[in-house]
Amino acid sequence: MYPDDNSKSRALYERARAVLPGGNTRTTVHMSPYPVYLERGAGCRVWDVDGVARIDVINNFTAAIHGHAHPVLTQAAQAQAALGTAFGMPTAAEIELAEGLAARIATVDQCRFTNSGTEAVMAALKAARAFTGRAKIAKCEGAYHGSYDYAEVSLDTPPSAWRANAPVSTAYAAGTPPAVLEDVVVVPFNDVDGAAEVLRAHAGELAAILVDPMPNRAGLAPADRAYVQALRELADEIGALLIFDEVICFRLGPNGAQPIWGVEADLTTLGKVIGGGFPIGAVGGRHEVMAVFDPTDGKPPLPQGGTFSANPVSMRCGLAALDLLDAETFARLDRQGDRLRAAIDEAFAAAGLQGHATGMGSLLKIHLAPQPVRDYRSAYLDPEAARRLKALIVRLLNEGVIVAPNGLMALSTPMTDDDIEQIADAIRRSLAQLARQ
């Protein structure tokens, strides 16, 4: 049972605290009183250092769509490792993955690879600035796009700073330069009129509108089609680029998120699943915009490098991961996601608790809130709800299911319908226990 002061995880955490601040090197995996340390994974299960097996529904924060140690991906990684893992020269692998992405995403003619989604978003924002000659960017309140200063603005604006229809640019990290806040315009999510008013007020200054159509940190509620389509029209009206952040949402379908929302983006940012379990990010778009990276005639408008960018291990494993994602696989993930969302809603009702699941396809999020979640503000957890969510996550851990600390869940292709039922059962039991508290 977690927590256990005599566990090997606890001992590792104590050791970690000496050499890693707070014993941690990735804020998102921090857990109090200590995190569970993993030893290995296979399929949709992981084993911790104390030998406990659990179903993994975090899947490295949505990246591991094929679960762990998938034989095809393991083989791809081993084969490339035997040939060399990274060179100071290009390999054919980067062309093949770029071709694979261009074949799937209608608005991507060309790509540029990075090592993370954070860097992909940074490159996209810089590309939009280089292309338009403008400095400001717009983003949605509460939406997470990685840790580039500009992309982090307004990530956790507290209720005390909320103003009606007028999101404010607040700093997420201490020490964020004031100039960053001046260059980021925050729009409300899922509110066409509110967003239009803010965007028009900054017309002529904005290089890009950055949007994730189903932002996890802002509640994992799908954007209304009308909202995303309005952002497209507003981008054209004010001469800004529309950037679709599909670092998570690309896993919603064979061609990513844009066909689902009926929108064509100018730039698309990718990451996570396209690396087949290895570090990756990518920005893609039309030739005309991607030309800002082109060094053919000397220094390009936007020079971009990265020692491990386009390393052939990430490229080869990414390609192998994409090849495993056919229409039938997405249809199964969609069906399983719908089944689990319905089971979660039923479990809340059966336990007599307020709450529900949001999300689409293989992405889900548990909310302990009575109100429907549409945006950052309706998803906001007060301290009591945050405490109850944490209690639920710990109960689930002890029921053999790993869910992200913020309630996010991502299904993986090795999951069978029986695995989905096991997850649903664990949620039923955990909610029933929570109700009795």
Ligand X SMILES: Cc1ncc(COP(=O)(O)O)c(C=O)c1O
**Using CB under 6 A as the criterion, which residues of the chain lie in contact with ligand X when the complex forms?**
61, 116-118, 121, 144-146, 212, 216, 245, 247-248, 271, 281
Token representation of residue 33: 């009183």
Task: CB nearer to ligand X: give 129 or 145.
Answer: 145
Say if CB 121 and CB 149 are below 8 A apart.
no
Sheet with 401-402: list strands edge to edge: 38-42, 45-48, 53-56, 401-402
Task: CB nearer to ligand X: give 67 or 271.
Answer: 271
Residue 63 CB, shortest distance to ligand X, in Å, is: 8
Task: CB nearer to ligand X: give 117 or 414.
Answer: 117
Task: CB nearer to ligand X: give 144 or 348.
Answer: 144
N residues, the chain:
437
> How does strand 356-360 pair with strand 363-367?
antiparallel
CB under 8 A, 24+ apart: contacts of 425-430? 426/55, 426/396, 426/399, 426/400, 426/401, 427/343, 427/344, 427/347, 427/366, 427/396, 427/401, 428/343, 428/347, 428/350, 428/351, 429/395, 429/399, 430/392, 430/395, 430/396, 430/399
Q: Is the peptide bond before 312 cis (omega within 30 degrees of 0)?
A: no
Residue 123 CB, shortest distance to ligand X, in Å, is: 12
Residue 284 CB, shortest distance to ligand X, in Å, is: 14
Q: Is the peptide bond before 303 cis (omega within 30 degrees of 0)?
A: no
Q: What gap in Å lies between CA 140 and CA 227, rounded to an integer?
A: 12
Task: CB nearer to ligand X: give 43 or 271.
Answer: 271
Torsion 130-131-133-139 (CA) sign: negative
Task: CB nearer to ligand X: give 122 or 351.
Answer: 122
Residue 246 CB, shortest distance to ligand X, in Å, is: 8
Residue 222 CB, shortest distance to ligand X, in Å, is: 14
Residue 267 CB, shortest distance to ligand X, in Å, is: 13
Q: Which residue is closest to ligand X by CB?
A: 117
Residue 353 CB, shortest distance to ligand X, in Å, is: 28
Task: CB nearer to ligand X: give 147 or 229.
Answer: 147
Nearest of 81, 149, 160 to residue 121 by alpha carbon: 149
Task: CB nearer to ligand X: give 43 or 146.
Answer: 146
Q: Three-state DSSP class for 301? A: coil
Residue 269 CB, shortest distance to ligand X, in Å, is: 7
Q: Three-state DSSP class for 130? A: helix
